[in-house]
């Protein structure tokens, strides 16, 4: 943990500036930044990670020309908290994108949740504006739908997309369909002006999102303006969709069709950067917000490779993500880094690319990965796995310790809701909330990536790892100041409901109240 705790930022800044040539040439235009964030795409969905159909040639080529991260993690096994973590560089427990209702697994759904990203948080686009960047988000925002949470209020100059995913279609009365925006103007709704055919899976949304990205890049290049493009599309989130030329073209069904169209789109974005002659001045990173949603598999869910379970869980399948860094002329081609990476690192790394430092008035959980990308450095650091406000697990090096295990409730499981289909591991994948804080379940992820064989409590290896991880957890919890839980802020008209056998809650929850496990209405 010495490297994790020691302040090395000054040395890292010199390394980065030297690599970019800024120490010699003065202050040229800072590099462009393109973050490609997928939705529910699994670690095992790319050919370069071993997907046997090999239907991602552009992403595989991106990896061959850049750096692949096999040990890269989301900050949460759900969409909205992980997106908040990416744009703030902070764990959801710090930035407020969590709930406190019993190891919650709430996502943000605008008909129900009324909270959003707090004004007190410093988002990446807000900070990049200080260096003259023009910022655009294309696709899914997911950090609040009320006006004060709008992306243009938090540093973005342009937006084409939606505050949420393409759920629906709804009845347009009690629950209207999700709106689509161009900047401040609502230009339509999913299933209405922006149709999605649930029977065939046809939708033109990925093509619209691609064109928005290409047009933005061309415009900013013509203006000679540094830009930040946050391309957050949602085609691989159920119900999955693809445009007509890609439907029926994959060996993996409709989900594979969506992946093929995404791959083609990424190829077009990278090709444009090369054709414009700006690829060497553009840092690009590809990843996903959380693991594949196995609850939607096999027809509409992806693959988490050898890892246990999927989205909504804190097993490896829920939080280990595909990740590729691409920056020709700076990141040497054909590299694989075993650095433990986090989606929060994209905040700190992007600031470093822009020549900026992260805010010093708060704890930033993301590391600057440029020394890893440019020089091959590997830094010691932990990965924290949260569900709601509960620390479920910690990874340090090759070892992962589970303090709590829980997939979903027996009630949900008996209704056919299964986040770990075909992957029952006795004593590990549990349908009650099992506490292991005194004797954590510890796995060696190198020998056992599927988390099937916990270390013996009596072994010397277990005792050594437990001692080291305990110190890390104590240090983390000592400095932890939880933010106000934004996903507790709900619409009382909608949330005044409970599943069969539970009393109506009658109000929204605020700490320290919590929902009994059997009454969890989390989505």
Residue numbering of the annotated binding site for Ca(2+) = 39-40, 79, 289-290
Q: Which residues are annotated as a binding site?
A: 39-40, 79, 289-290
469 and 396 Cβ atoms separated by less than 8 Å: yes
Which residues are CB-neighbours of 429 under 8 A, at least 6 positions away? 308, 309, 315, 405, 407, 420, 423
Catalytic residues: 79, 142
Give the Cα separation of 523 and 516 in Å (integer): 15
504 and 498 Cβ atoms separated by less than 8 Å: yes
Give the Cα separation of 97 and 523 in Å (integer): 14
Give the Cα separation of 413 and 443 in Å (integer): 25
Angle (CA) 515-518-520 rounded to 5° is 45
Which residues are CB-neighbours of 412 under 8 A, at least 6 positions away? none
What is the DSSP-derived secondary structure letter of residue 133?
-
Give the Cα separation of 343 and 500 in Å (integer): 38
- The encoded tokens of residue 180 equal 């689509």
Nearest to 63 by CA among 268, 278, 281, 326: 326
């Amino acid at each position: 943990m010495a490297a994790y705790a020691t302040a090395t930022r000054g040395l890292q800044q010199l390394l980065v500036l030297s690599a970019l040539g800024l120490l010699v040439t003065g202050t040229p235009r800072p590099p462009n930044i393109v973050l490609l964030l997928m939705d529910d795409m699994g670690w095992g969905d790319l050919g370069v990670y071993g997907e046997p159909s090999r239907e991602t040639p552009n992403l595989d080529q991106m990896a061959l020309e850049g750096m692949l991260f096999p040990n890269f993690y989301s900050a949460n096994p759900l969409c909205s908290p992980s997106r908040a973590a990416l744009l703030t560089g902070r764990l959801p427990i710090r930035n407020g994108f969590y709930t406190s209702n019993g190891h919650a697994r709430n996502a943000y759904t605008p008909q129900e949740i009324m909270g959003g990203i707090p004004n007190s948080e410093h988002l990446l686009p807000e900070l990049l504006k200080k260096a003259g960047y023009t910022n655009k988000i294309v696709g899914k925002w997911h950090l609040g739908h009320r006006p004060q949470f709008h992306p243009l209020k938090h540093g973005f100059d342009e937006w084409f997309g939606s505050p949420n995913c393409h759920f629906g279609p709804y009845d347009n009365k009690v629950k209207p369909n999700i709106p689509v925006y161009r900047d401040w103007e609502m230009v339509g709704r999913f299933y209405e002006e922006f149709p999605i055919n649930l029977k065939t899976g046809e939708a033109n949304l990925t093509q619209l999102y691609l064109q928005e990205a290409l047009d933005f890049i061309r415009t900013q290049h013509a203006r000679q303006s540094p830009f930040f493009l946050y391309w957050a599309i949602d085609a691989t989130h159920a119900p999955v969709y693809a445009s007509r030329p890609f439907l029926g073209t994959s060996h993996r069904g409709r989900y594979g069709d969506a992946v093929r169209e995404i791959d083609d789109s990424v190829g077009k974005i990278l090709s444009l950067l090369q054709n414009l002659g700006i690829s060497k001045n553009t840092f690009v990173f590809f990843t996903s917000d959380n693991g594949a949603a196995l609850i939607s598999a096999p027809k509409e869910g992806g693959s988490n490779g050898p890892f246990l379970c999927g989205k909504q869980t804190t097993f490896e399948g829920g939080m280990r993500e595909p990740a590729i860094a691409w920056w020709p002329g700076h990141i040497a081609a054909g590299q694989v880094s075993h650095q433990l990476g986090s989606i929060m690192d994209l905040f700190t790394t992007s600031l470093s690319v822009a020549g900026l430092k992260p805010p010093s008035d708060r704890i930033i959980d993301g590391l600057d990965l440029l020394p890893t990308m440019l020089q091959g450095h590997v830094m010691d650091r932990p990965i924290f796995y949260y569900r709601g406000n509960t620390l479920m697990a910690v990874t340090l090096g090759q070892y992962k310790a589970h303090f709590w295990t829980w997939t979903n409730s027996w009630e949900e499981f008996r209704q056919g809701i299964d986040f770990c289909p075909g992957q029952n591991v006795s004593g590990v994948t549990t349908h009650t909330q099992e506490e292991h804080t005194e004797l954590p379940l510890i796995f060696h992820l190198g020998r056992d990536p599927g988390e099937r064989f916990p270390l013996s409590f009596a072994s010397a290896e277990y005792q050594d790892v437990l001692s080291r991880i305990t110190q890390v957890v104590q240090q983390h919890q000592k400095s932890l100041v939880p933010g106000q839980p934004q996903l507790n802020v709900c619409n009382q008209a909608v949330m005044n409901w409970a599943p069969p056998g539970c009393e109506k809650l009658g109000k929204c929850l605020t700490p320290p109240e919590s929902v009994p496990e059997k009454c969890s209405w989390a989505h």
